[in-house]
Amino acid sequence: MAETTKADTTKADSTAAPVPAPAATPKPAAAGAGAAAKPIKKPKPSARHGGSAKAARRKTRKKKSQIQARRKKEFTYRGHTMEELLKMPLADIIELLPARARRSFIRGLNSEQESFVNRLKSSEGPVRTHRREIFILPSFVGKTVSVYNGKEFQSVEIKPEMIGHSLGEFALTRKAVNHSGLGVGATRSSKFMPLK
């Protein structure tokens, strides 16, 4: 019974209408030459690098991961370059600062703060100060300030990224704690530790 079905299906296939061949698409002619130009095929990654496709993928990944020389990005503060900030009047710079710094400058500087700002603008070398609360302006950039941290004066070189921050943020008053080992008697096992 199975044999008859196979024969019937082969007969049905032979009697079926022939499938028409797909229509040939016209090839674009080369400009001026009149001959048909073949599209240029891009070689496979394996053919380009010589070897297996896996090796080719590895090589392309390695090439992408290599550090390339990056162009240094120009510094901007709230969309303004350093040159624009230095040309701006103080009132316009104050508007760009964060709220706390803005409020401090709007209220006005006291006599000690004003004397520090004047000394910093006029001096070439580092300026010592106890005024940790003064916020950094664009005119301070490039100067060196020795800020008191409660024990000593820490030298801080002012960079463009520091604009809007206070001087005290860059002269830390606390030191990182380095814990030593456990003391004798701190744990049960330390009672039996030999003392050196």
Question: Could you report the per-residue pLDDT of 27-76, keeping only the tens digit for each?
Answer: 555 555 555 677 777 766 555 555 688 888 888 888 877 766 666 788 99
Secondary structure (3-state) at 77: strand
pLDDT band at 115 (very low <50, low <70, confident <90, very high): very high
Alpha helices in 16-157 (DSSP H): 45-49, 53-65, 82-87, 90-96, 99-107, 111-122
Whether 118 has a pLDDT exceeding 70, the answer reads yes
Alpha helices in 68-169 (DSSP H): 82-87, 90-96, 99-107, 111-122
Distance between terminal CA atoms of the chain? 100
Mean of pLDDT values over 80-109:
94
Residue 115 CB coordination number (10 Å) = 13
- 193 DSSP assignment: S
Which stretch of 11-20, 139-148, 150-159, 167-176 has the lowest confidence by average pLDDT? 11-20
| Fold held by 76-170 | 30s Ribosomal Protein S19; Chain A (3.30.860)
- For 80, the enclosing helix (H) or strand (E) is strand 80-81
pTM of this prediction?
0.57
**Higher-confidence position of 87 and 46:** 87
The whole-angstrom separation of Cα 90 and Cα 46 is 62
Q: Would you state the pLDDT for residue 138?
A: 95
Structure tokens at 176: 């990182």
The whole-angstrom separation of Cα 37 and Cα 30 is 5
Beta-ladder partners of 128 = 146
Mean of pLDDT values over 108-125:
93
